[in-house]
Chain A
Amino acid sequence: MRLKAGKKDDFAEQVFGQLDSLYATALRITRNQADAEDLAHDTCLRAIRFQEHFQRGTNLRAWLFRLMINLFVHRYWRQKRYEQLTRSWEKEDLRERNYANEKLASAERPEEFFFERLLAPEVVQALEELPVDFRLVVLLVDINEFSYAQAAEILDVPIGTVMSRLYRGRKMLRSALYQYALENGYVRSASQPGRVADLEEYRRQRESKS
């Protein structure tokens, strides 16, 4: 005897509809396909199992992402937390220095949008190398287009934390990408001798305009 499709089937279908989005984000979070598949699979399974906990009328996508982040934190991150933190400290100094360089470079040539010369794999790598706290916020707001409030709900942090992590996360990302661009000749370093004359010229031009 087959029962007619009810609310449960509708819900499952809706969850299935978000599987791509969940998987793509899981890939960036776990950084390997097997873990990403497991994370996405288990998130959907839990969602359907505990569908009574979902308040109809609220944002299903945000709820699913919240489940996924919770699962991730419990399963993967708590164990690797120390490892992650240590790695992020090492990179911190480098990033601060790069940010200073990049500011200088962009002041010289504000029309040089170096990041538009980068390729997808390079950006993905830089993103995946961000410490998890910052990576999550960038993923939620910039990639998945959640609002600050939604991201705060998903991560269970104050909205101010989302704002500051987003700000710093983007800076760190840009800094890492700038470093990459320098190393691979996409841009030339601000400290190269040939630059000095150009900088003087640029300043002269700017002053004469204002």
Chain B
Amino acid sequence: MDCREVEQFLQFYLDGELDEQDGRMVEEHLKGCAPCRARADYERRFVQAVKARVPREKAPEGLKQRLRQSLAAEDASRRLWRRLLLGGLPAAAALAAVIFTFTMTSGFAPLVEEAVRQHSRDQAVEINSSDYSTVEDWFRKRLAFHVALPRFSSPRVSLNGARLSRLASYQAAQVRFTSGNERYSLFVIDDPRLEPSGLKCRWLQERKVCFDERSGYTVVVWRARGLVYSLVGESPAQKLIETISLDSF
């Protein structure tokens, strides 16, 4: 091996990437060639100097904590979801994807609180009809946005009238439903940009469905057609989601 060849292989030799035979040939040459030896020394010391001077920072304690918390949250959500699934969701098998996320902000909470309050007050309906189109027509004359009602395909769920309402600064449609002994209120507001933040959410049929449980009521929130739907009921989230069958959205 001559100096030119050694120069070509020097990097590989110094990085320990040459096989035994080639490595030995380079070594033999270096033993008898001072300039190449000096060059090898220079290159080796450069890499060592860089390595020695780049600090190996330790992960901050906050990062470790955050990771542990994230893992615990993931674990908890997975267990909860398994419980809900095993609890007999009829549509469980048809669910396309399930992603469980926790959001940190609380911008949507006041609306949820208001929806619960309105529902619990049990005020009289302003239109007494069990026909979806009739109710939608009634709202068309009274609200600035088009109220599109979801069709609950479960035969047990029946429409029981509606009224005008407000959620915080939003004009809202409040629609009554009953299912056996259970009463529900569906609130519909118009805001293409409002996100149900601060609630626990999951994906049902490619739609993000969020829920909150407070004061003994459950609220399920989802977006469709540029509108925000909030369904308030008295049964736990599991049963409420059960009630929202496949075609609802």
Q: Which residues of A contact B (CB under 8 A)?
A: 12, 16, 19-24, 27-28, 33, 37, 40-41, 44-45, 48-49, 106, 110, 113, 115-116, 118-120, 122-124, 127, 138, 141-143, 147-148, 163, 166-167, 170, 173-174
Other-chain residue from B11, B50, B54 in contact with A166 (beta carbon distance below 8 A): B11
Q: Is the interface of A mostly helix, strand, loop or mixed?
A: helix
Once A113-B42, A124-B53 are accepted as A-B contacts, the answer to whether A141 and B63 lie under 8 Å apart by CB is: no
Closest residue of chain B to A44 (Cβ to Cβ) is: B67
CB distance from A174 to the nearest CB of B (A): 6
Residues of B within 8 A of A22 (CB): 59
CB distance from A187 to the nearest CB of B (A): 14
Closest residue of chain B to A45 (Cβ to Cβ) is: B70
Contact indicator B54/A48 (Cβ below 8 Å): no
B47 at the interface (CB under 8 A from A): yes
Contact indicator A28/B38 (Cβ below 8 Å): no
B74 at the interface (CB under 8 A from A): yes
B49 at the interface (CB under 8 A from A): yes
CB distance from B179 to the nearest CB of A (A): 34
Other-chain residue from B17, B55, B58, B74 in contact with A124 (beta carbon distance below 8 A): B55
Other-chain residue from A21, A41, A45, A148 in contact with B74 (beta carbon distance below 8 A): A45
Residues of A within 8 A of B42 (CB): 106, 110, 113
Q: Chain B: interface residue count, which band?
A: 20 to 34
Contact indicator B64/A19 (Cβ below 8 Å): yes
B60 at the interface (CB under 8 A from A): yes
Count contacts between A and B, CB distance < 8 Å: 94
CB distance from A35 to the nearest CB of B (A): 12
Contact indicator B17/A120 (Cβ below 8 Å): no
Other-chain residue from B17, B56, B70 in contact with A20 (beta carbon distance below 8 A): B56
Residues of A within 8 A of B63 (CB): 19, 23, 37, 40-41
Q: A44-B67, A143-B51 are in contact. List 18 more A-B contacts (CB 8 A).
A: A16-B64, A19-B59, A19-B67, A41-B63, A41-B66, A115-B45, A116-B49, A120-B54, A120-B55, A122-B53, A124-B53, A141-B15, A142-B50, A147-B17, A163-B12, A167-B11, A173-B50, A174-B46
Q: Which 4 A-B pairs have the closest CB atoms?
A: A23-B59, A123-B53, A120-B53, A115-B49
B57 at the interface (CB under 8 A from A): yes
Q: How distant is the Cα of A123 from the Cα of B50 in the complex, in angstroms? A: 7
Other-chain residue from B16, B53, B55 in contact with A118 (beta carbon distance below 8 A): B53
Other-chain residue from B47, B50, B58 in contact with A23 (beta carbon distance below 8 A): B58
Once A115-B49, A120-B55, A166-B11 are accepted as A-B contacts, the answer to whether A41 and B67 lie under 8 Å apart by CB is: yes
B95 at the interface (CB under 8 A from A): no
27 contacts between A and B (CB under 8 A): A12-B71, A19-B67, A20-B56, A20-B57, A22-B59, A23-B59, A24-B58, A27-B57, A37-B59, A37-B60, A41-B66, A41-B67, A44-B67, A45-B67, A45-B74, A48-B74, A110-B42, A115-B45, A115-B46, A138-B50, A143-B50, A143-B51, A147-B16, A163-B12, A170-B46, A170-B47, A174-B46
> Per-residue CB proximity of B28-59 to A under 8 Å, as 1/0?
00000000001000100111011101111111
Once A123-B54, A127-B54 are accepted as A-B contacts, the answer to whether A113 and B45 lie under 8 Å apart by CB is: yes
Residues of A within 8 A of B12 (CB): 163
CB distance from A51 to the nearest CB of B (A): 12
Q: How distant is the Cα of A143 from the Cα of B64 in the complex, in angstroms? A: 23
Contact indicator B71/A45 (Cβ below 8 Å): yes
Once A37-B60, A170-B47 are accepted as A-B contacts, the answer to whether A163 and B67 lie under 8 Å apart by CB is: no
Residues of B within 8 A of A23 (CB): 57-60, 63
Residues of B within 8 A of A20 (CB): 56-59
Q: How distant is the Cα of A123 from the Cα of B54 in the complex, in angstroms? A: 7
Q: How distant is the Cα of A144 from the Cα of B45 in the complex, in angstroms? A: 17
Q: How distant is the Cα of A127 from the Cα of B55 in the complex, in angstroms? A: 12
Residues of B within 8 A of A113 (CB): 42, 45-46, 49
Q: How distant is the Cα of A143 from the Cα of B12 in the complex, in angstroms? A: 16
Q: How distant is the Cα of A33 from the Cα of B59 in the complex, in angstroms? A: 10
